[in-house]
Amino acid sequence: MIQWIAFHGKLLTRVRLFSWGIIADKSCVLCGGSEESHDHIFFVCPFSIAVWNLCLLKCSISRPPLPLRDEISWGLANGRSKSVYGLIFKLIFAASIYFLWGERNNRIFKAKGMPWQGVFDLIVENLHACLCDQETSAAVDDSTREALCQRIEIQLRCDLRAMAIGSHAQRPPQSQQFN
């Protein structure tokens, strides 16, 4: 649901709340340097760029992050295939929006945040869980899935590896994933 709302520019960003007179500060809580709009959060904000840049590398995509609308266009043009990397791109793109918006909300409503590396780790953990899910990754054969999981685990910190296996606590519901 969050992804769908973001795609349509309907998230309650601080720029929108400011325009309605609800809040007095429209600065981005992730970087503190710009106004918090959809285009800024996904993916112009330095915090988001750092996260999404590593996600692109995880997908073996060698290009810089693009603004949200351009990422959607790119995904529609390149991510429709049933290839392994097409599947990974869909999953990691949906998870990135989910966890970046979640990090933004944690900072505002819970007064706690984590560095961008922590958000990236959550995204990778989610990707790992999805790849281990037979239903989600039905297009991937077992040997490919195993190879991908090994690759992801190698890049995880040691203390996160144990959490990655079987942890579904922070997974976006299937209905929220990018199709």
Given the rule CB under 5 A, which residues bind Zn ion?
28, 30-31, 45
Name which of 45 and 54 has its Cβ closer to Zn ion: 45
Name which of 28 and 122 has its Cβ closer to Zn ion: 28
With 0-12 / 13-18 / 19 or more C-beta atoms within 10 angstroms meaning exposed / middle / buried, residue 94 is buried
Name which of 27 and 167 has its Cβ closer to Zn ion: 27
Write a three-state SS string for 27-54: ECCCCCCCECCHHHHHHHCHHHHHHHHH
How far apart are CB 110 and Zn ion at their closest, in Å?
Answer: 18
How far apart are CB 39 and Zn ion at their closest, in Å?
Answer: 11
How far apart are CB 118 and Zn ion at their closest, in Å?
Answer: 16
Cβ proximity of 92 and 59 under 8 Å: yes
Name which of 58 and 104 has its Cβ closer to Zn ion: 104
Cβ proximity of 157 and 120 under 8 Å: no
Alpha carbons 9 and 68: distance in angstroms, whole number: 10
How far apart are CB 88 and Zn ion at their closest, in Å?
Answer: 26
What residues are paired with 35 via a beta bridge?
27
